[in-house]
Chains A and B, each alone.
Chain A
Amino acid sequence: MAGDGIRAGDTAPGNTGQGVGHSVPRKEDDRYLRGTGEYVGDIRLAGMRELAFVRSPYAHARLVSIRKPADAAHLVFTADDLCDVLPIIANSGLPGFKSSAQPALASGKVRHVGEAVAVCVADTRAEAEDLAAAVIVEYDELPALSDMLDAARPDAPLVHDHWGDNLFLQTRVEADLAEIARTAPVVVRRTLRTARQCMSPMEGRGVIARWEARLEQLVLTTSTQMPHIVRTGLAGCLGLPEEQVRIIAPDVGGGFGYKGILLPEEVCAGFLARHLGHPVRWIEDRREQLAGNANCREHHYDLTAYADADGRLIALDADASVDAGAYSIYPFSACLEAAQVASILPGPYRMDAYRCVTRSVATNKAGIVPYRGVARAGVCYAMETMMDAIAAETGLAPHLVRLRNLVPADAMPFDNITNKHFDSGDYPEALRRVVAAIDVEGVRRRQAVQDGPVRLGIGFAIFCEQGAHGTSVYHGWGIPMVPGFEQAVARLTPDGGLELRVGIQSHGQGLETTLAQVGHEILGISIERIRVVHGDTALTPYSTGTWGSRCMVMAGGAVATACRELGERILAIGAHLLQVAPDAARIERGQVVCGARTVSISEVARTWYLRPQELPADVCSGGLEITGGYKTLRDTGTFSYAAHAVVVSVDTELGDVAILDYAICEDGGVLVNPMIVDGQVHGGVAQGIGTALYEEMPFDSAGQPLATTLADYMLPGATEVPALRVDHMVTPSPYSAFGQKGIGEGGAIGPPAAIANAVNDALRPLGVSVDRLPITPHRIVQALMDRCDRGVS
């Protein structure tokens, strides 16, 4: 049941080196290191044919006609051929939401570049692409909406003709700020923008669909983070009962949110496999990904902060827009991003009043998908920019302004102005530690004497990250997918191995190792004998999947629950074998122990499965397999937090930014595997550096994406990501099984804010700032040249 409150060491006394808290090397590494991982693109099925899509070159156009090549018309499918296939619909439950219908193949209109218009079948991908190039599509181009502010204007062309405007949803957090605005000693305003990004996991999306006649079942192997959710959505679109759909996620080459979505391509492939009677496969190539699926992160903020003369924040007034793209994607909808903006913009700070208007604006771009950190990367950038603005206005040091406003440790748990329930932690201490780590005074001394083209800057960011939030939060945000109990199956094999079956999917997070560590923690079975089974709806209990920094808390809690309940059955059988009362025995290091007498768990398993004649009839009818269900003690989430501090140098002639030092103090509660946690932090920071300095999908006024190769869309490499210094604090969450907190996304949240603040700190003496991400050399030089021009005129 919920919140067993098992703590590290409760059931596996002694340091086995494999339980919760240990940097156990990953079980999954070996297959990847030998090239024997199995991704969708590596799988071949007899009779399988390849798919290529005809995609819209226009951002917005009316479809006039589609002409199939005469000699291959039976191998080309359009919306008209997908009889009875329903569009993908993801409605927010919030009042006023306008619904969109995302078709598997476009009909009537195309609404973004890369939208699928037809699908072609051939023996090889090259031949399928040949066929796609021979399909003649006639379009009537319509005015494209490539900018969310333009799209929100009353006279804008419409993405969805029947809506009347282009707003999926507008929300308001109301407060009367008139008096504060009149009296506040310090008022700062900023307008900020973040760019459209492409999440760019190294493996793109991909799907193999096969109709299995024996089971009358569609088997869809797809590179997804959430197989059970895809099953629900796909079954709905194809009109199949869910028991006739099986989703398998094999090895998945990175996700970050990109694969947390039901795809039109999955719907098409599922339809075609059934219709054609042979397996079909689609592998997304990088061009399709960049041209059609830059689908995250794009925010615009108008912010006013009110503070008193010593930097204490009085109120925040925010107007935020999110470019939500053309369609509300399943399952997260077009509005998760903006809902998060409204609820977490205040960050880890206290304030007296808060007003926020958000708009989820439809444009002619791909539907927005939550990317690692979701809205938090933008929100943190916005809030931390305001903190530096207050510091500049008051003349106080940036970290002092933050210390004056952070929720202090003695206020925990703390309900903030938007009713976020911060569970535990010492936010000011995290900040103090990074301030010490980067030697602020030393950098300030060097800044004071610099006069060349290269300028130093210091930037901070501090944020908290709600993770593993559950039913009430998602219901409140109106998301069509609301997570409930997380489940896990724990099963002993006849020879004493432990299978853990979980509905989440591990694609880099190392859950095959960390969940085994949890199983080991409870039952003491060596992790070499614990196998984590995931990524298959036929083999695992229902789960909403891997997203929202939830797996270690939710699946970890479910595994702990299942193992504990399994342990009670093992104890019952073991106690019989020891001829003692069950409550006199306990489980220790893979054995049932009573005094000096022991019986191994594997002996218990062998007896139950193979020698049942040795057990009484009433010993334990449920056997050695159990499904455990788990929720945290409160479903408002764990709040990990981190402070980031960075020192940069800015070449003011060429606009190059070099990261000289990067220090992090992070509190993820009890760390199940500190090595893996550090890996998540490092990987997240690399992505955050991309957001801060490199990654941007620009669109021209016609909605054409302009960075459709990896030479144009810049992903950070080993030379762009510095060595990081990561310090940990450990404040357990009172609500999770081991005190662990979700930390998967945090690394990506801080860098845009910290780096932008550092760059602007360097530029401040020159009288300029850059107020949009990414901060490119061009933007820095342009800002300086503009300033120079103004100075002349």
Chain B
Amino acid sequence: MKPVAFDHDCPVTLEEAARLIARPGARPIAGGQSLGPMLNFRVARPDHLVALAALAGLTGVEDTAQVITLGAATCHAAIEDGRVPDLPGGVLSRIAGGIAYRAVRNRGTIGGSLCHADPGADWLITLTALDASVLTWTPSGGRMIPLAGFVTGAFRTVLAAGEIVQAVHIPRPGPGFGWGYVKACRKPGEFAHAMAALLVDPARGVRRLVIGATGGAPVLLQGVRADPACVGDALAGSGLGRVERRMQAVVAARALAQATNGRVMPA
């Protein structure tokens, strides 16, 4: 189980990195914790791997009253360990601590996870619920892309060739927000078969429920539709069987209970 032959480039500037990943057959790699297995299985067969995790432009954190911005190369363990600003209640730390295993969290990055766009990825689901965006970089300027709409389907995003996710913007919810995140896994660290993240932010009049592990892009339900009762209908055409759809509704209900501490808040 060894990968196909490829070049492995380690650019030191964003310009160089953008040029290298725009080549045909090039594939960016950050922590490589998802891509690594795919390389070893030879289901990913790049000509060139371009290492992004060590790029200076993708590291560090920026914290303001409104938003936390994390460099894309921030590893999960740093977030778990509180080495970056967090939302009240340690929301980000708890999400990070639930990703795979510590040895994976030491390498895997938040930006890499989002770009990999695994339908069952923790960051994709939770940050979509938190209304986060990714800031991208290209030589001609970047984009701020809301995560709702960033992913086009399993393992696919709207990123253009050569476009690099530089940072993740996580808006701070208003005072008194509620947060719930529940996933159903066979084992800790394994892929979830049902997952739901829910943000209730009464100060901003926001209520966002995101269902993951659908096989495709995460499903976002907002406002009055951000309700466990709507999950079954929303997943009707998802390809999930009725048992999985039922489980998704259950984790959504539990996420709601977490977010509201058991009190159901009006939508």
A residues apposed to B, CB below 8 Å: 124-126, 129-130, 133, 285-288, 653-656, 694, 709, 711, 714, 716-717, 719-720, 776-778, 781-782, 785
Q: Fill in one digit per residue for B164-191: 1 if any A CB lies within 8 Å of its CB, else 0.
A: 0000000000000000000010111011
Q: Which of A285, A653, A694 contacts B250 (CB 8 A)?
A: A653
Residues of A within 8 A of B191 (CB): 711
Q: A653-B250, A654-B194, A711-B191 are in contact. Are A781 and B243 (CB under 8 A)?
A: yes
Q: Nearest chain-A residue to B4 (Cβ)? A: A130
Q: Which of B2, B184, B186, B244 contacts A129 (CB 8 A)?
A: B2
Q: Which of B41, B190, B193, B242 contacts A777 (CB 8 A)?
A: B193
Q: Nearest chain-B residue to A776 (Cβ)? A: B186
CA distance A785 to B242 in the complex (A): 9
Q: Is B223 an interface residue (CB 8 A)?
A: no
Q: Is B3 an interface residue (CB 8 A)?
A: yes
Residues of B within 8 A of A778 (CB): 193, 243-244
Q: Which of A287, A719, A782 contacts B187 (CB 8 A)?
A: A719
Q: Is B156 an interface residue (CB 8 A)?
A: no
Sorting the interface of chain B by its residue count into under 10, 10 to 19, 20 to 34 or 35 or more gives 20 to 34
Q: A781-B246, A782-B243, A785-B243 are in contact. Are A714 and B1 (CB under 8 A)?
A: no
Q: Nearest chain-B residue to A717 (Cβ)? A: B187
Find residues 40-87 in chain B having any chain A CB closer than 8 Å to their own CB. 41-42
Query: Mind listing 29 A-B residue pairs with CB under 8 Å?
Result: A124-B2, A126-B3, A129-B1, A129-B2, A130-B4, A285-B1, A287-B1, A288-B1, A653-B250, A654-B250, A656-B184, A709-B37, A709-B41, A714-B190, A716-B187, A719-B188, A720-B187, A776-B186, A777-B184, A777-B186, A777-B247, A778-B193, A778-B244, A781-B243, A781-B246, A782-B243, A785-B242, A785-B243, A785-B246
Q: Which of A126, A655, A785 contacts B2 (CB 8 A)?
A: A126
Report yes or no: A694 in contact with B4, Cβ–Cβ below 8 A: no
Count A-B contacts at CB 8 Å.
55
Residues of B within 8 A of A126 (CB): 2-3, 5
CA distance A666 to B52 in the complex (A): 56
Q: Which of A287, A654, A656, A716 contacts B41 (CB 8 A)?
A: A287
Residues of A within 8 A of B187 (CB): 694, 714, 716-717, 719-720
Report yes or no: A694 in contact with B243, Cβ–Cβ below 8 A: no
Q: How far is the CB of B47 from chain A (nearest CB, A)?
A: 14
| 9 tightest A-B CB contacts, nearest first | A126-B2, A285-B1, A653-B250, A782-B243, A781-B243, A654-B184, A287-B1, A719-B188, A778-B243
CA distance A354 to B187 in the complex (A): 41
Q: How far is the CB of B212 from chain A (nearest CB, A)?
A: 15
Find residues 209-267 in chain B having any chain A CB closer than 8 Å to their own CB. 242-244, 246-247, 250-251
Residues of B within 8 A of A716 (CB): 187
CA distance A125 to B40 in the complex (A): 12
Q: How far is the CB of A367 from chain B (nearest CB, A)?
A: 23
Which has the most chain A C-beta neighbours within 10 Å: B2, B4, B37? B2
Residues of B within 8 A of A709 (CB): 37, 41
Q: Nearest chain-B residue to A720 (Cβ)? A: B187
CA distance A288 to B250 in the complex (A): 37
Q: How far is the CB of B5 from chain A (nearest CB, A)?
A: 7
Q: Fill in one digit per residue for B1-19: 1 if any A CB lies within 8 Å of its CB, else 0.
A: 1111100000000000000
CA distance A133 to B251 in the complex (A): 43
CA distance A576 to B59 in the complex (A): 82
Q: Nearest chain-A residue to B242 (Cβ)? A: A785
